[in-house]
Structure 1
Amino acid sequence: MTTTHPTRRMPRRNVIRTAGTGSVAALGLALAMTSPATAQPAGTPSGAAASTTVTPAGHHFTATLSGKATFKAGPVTVTCTTSVSSGQVPASPGNHNPAGPVSSSTTPATYGSCTTSMPGVAASVTTTGTWGVAMQNGVPVTAGLTIPAAGFVLRTSGLASCTVTAAPTSATTVNGTWTNGAPSTLAFTNASVPVKVVGGFGCPTGATTSTFNATYTVRDTTDPASQITVTD
């Protein structure tokens, strides 16, 4: 007897391949970025990505940590109290996408004044490469932060010498929530980041993900009287 099996349809992944203007064009950047998940505004056809516009077009911005950023891998938590990154909204018409996110490159987010939950253990963070952010209009407005492969390395020293590498094998996108305001904010709440941990005693070498929490205020540095906003 011949047994037939129904054809299985693999789910489609929505991948946005972007090459924006402004700082993105200047760097010749072509990032493959996963569209951040978001609810669709009323009137948007089912399954279609919402229209997104980021303004002011062409303006530079700086994202500065508000409060503290935490990275938790296994039982170990690292807390940093300073972090900053900068970028540029794509020039028109690249600041508008009729069916998806608007993407741009950013400088690597720096992290400083870091401590750990382990007594006698210090921590430092090194970031490299070209990072990116993709803003998607919706309810809520979301933003996907792309970290390049091995673009974030956390090292501890003292009683435990560990190395934690985020996005260890390929670029990864960390999803956050954007809120328009004066200034606008970008928040990451229990965001999961793939990591590889190496080291000896006290290092969470079994951890494959880290939980990231942080809130950034985003200010327009081209015109401080303006605000960076995401609309349809």
Structure 2
Amino acid sequence: MTLRSARPLVASGAGLALLAALGLAGSAGARPADAGSTTVSPAGHSFAATLNGQTTFQAGSVTVTCNTSTSQPDGTTTNNNQVPAAPGNTNAAGPVASSVNAPTYSDCSASIPGVTVTVTTSGTWGISMQNGSPITATMTIPQGGLVLQTTGLANCTVTAAPGGSASFGATFTNGAPSQLAVSGASVPVTVSGGFGCPTAATASVFNATYDVTDTTDATQQITVGS
């Protein structure tokens, strides 16, 4: 996320923030009127999203980098991190949506010495997939679903989606593994703290790439088609 002192850019994230990100004030089900048919496969299969590379959060002149992030099925009776069972995995005129367990973030560091970073996520996140060229996705983060805290030389708290659930765009690429990429997604935030904290910032930008893998059958791939 790139925090900047600007008006919020909503529906454009933390974490995949963040990302998301995995995430933002629209609805994951929002779609243009001319959206085409979408099918997410395999129907009923569970999936994991694992960060490929790094994700960064920038607050003023301070950049926070996280090397590890994942959203995994939790083995409960919820349908989080699961492709909808047939026929719900197909929409003749729009996207297919799934709920997602909040991604975790760890192995985070700051660009200045003497600062410790903690990223906490909560709630149920969401993702909707729309077939096309490219395949597009909408990530939704619940209100306050990602909180970034720094302690040490600067004690700051950054809260994403402070006023309610928020949504942001991503792209999905079929492959082995398939990938979900968030590039320049804008997320509304509030920042509190003392000296060194960018308290005027009202928006952030999130960039991350996640590998999406089938956890029900490792020989198969999560794919999006018509």
Q: TM-score range by the shorter chain?
A: 0.7 to 0.9
Query: Share of identical aligned residues, percent?
Result: 61
Q: Which residue of 2 aligns with 1:59?
A: 45
Residue matched to 2:123: 129
- Which amino acid in 2 is paired with 1:80? C
Alignment of 1:91-102 (within 5 A): 91-102=85-96
Match in the other structure for 1:3 = none
Matched letter for residue 103 of structure 1: A
Counterpart in 2 of 1:33?
Answer: 28
Letter in 2 for 1:33: A
Tell me the amino acid that sits aligned with residue 55 of structure 1. S
Matched residues in 2 for 1:65 and 1:133: separation?
16
The correspondence for 1:48, drawn from 34, 57, 71, is 34
> Structure 1: any 5+ residue segments left out of the alignment?
1-30, 38-46
Q: For residues 70 and 52 of structure 1, what CA distance do their matches in structure 2 show?
A: 31
The residue matched to 2:87 in structure 1 has which SS? coil
Letter in 2 for 1:110: T
Size of the aligned set, in residue pairs, is: 193
1:34 to partner: Cα distance: 4.8
Task: Calculate the TM-score normalised by the size of structure 2.
Answer: 0.82
CA RMSD of aligned residues (A): 1.5
Gaps of 5+ in 2: 1-25, 73-80
Confirm whether residue 73 of structure 1 aligns to residue 73 of structure 2.
Answer: no
Quick one: distance in 2 between partners of 1:174 and 1:36? 12
Structure 1 stretches of at least 4 aligned residues deviating more than 2 Å after TM superposition: 31-37, 72-76
Q: Which has the larger radius of gyration?
A: 1
1:118 and 2:112 correspond: yes
2:182 is the counterpart of 1:188: yes
Q: Kindly tell me: are residues 36 and 187 of structure 1, through their superposed partners in 2, closer, same or farther at Cα, counting changes over 3 Å?
A: farther
In 2 relative to 1, CA 36–193 (structure 1 residues): closer, same or farther, beyond 3 Å?
farther
Quick check: 1:72–1:212 contact (8 Å CA) kept in 2? no
Q: How does 1:203-218 map to 2 (within 5 A)?
A: 203-218=197-212
Structure 2 CA distance for aligned equivalents of residues 188 and 32 of structure 1: 17
Q: Distance in 2 between matches of 1:73 and 1:148?
A: 21
Measure, in 1, the Cα distance between the counterparts of 2:30 and 2:58.
25
